Amino acid sequence: MVVCHCEVVNDRAIRATIAAGACDLDGVAQSCGAGARCGGCIPSIEELLADAALALQAPASLVARQAARRVDHDIDHRAGFESRA
């Protein structure tokens, strides 16, 4: 789907630009031209940037949840030992 009609840049090209390191509107505009003219596509580019940021956070939150589960397990395990003693 074309996101930037001024520069004829589609969402896949913008996602690729973000994946290659463009982390803000200026970076996207410099890399592929999207958002550099009228600015009408900027809300869509911001959504793509936000999606990419969330995708980067997902693994970290998964690691945090796994660590929390381990702590819960350790606490449950210790509570079991203490109740038997």
* Smallest separation, CB 12 to ligand FES (Å): 15
| Rounded Cα distance, 27 and 18, in Å | 8
Q: Is the dihedral of CA 15, 17, 19, 23 positive or negative?
A: negative
Spatial separation of the C-alpha atoms in residues 82 and 79, rounded to whole Å: 5
Nearer CB in complex with ligand FES: 1/85: 1
Provide the binding-site residues for ligand FES, judged by CB under 6 A: 4-7, 34-41
**Cβ 35 to ligand FES, closest distance in Å?**
5
Nearer to ligand FES, 24 or 74 (CB): 24
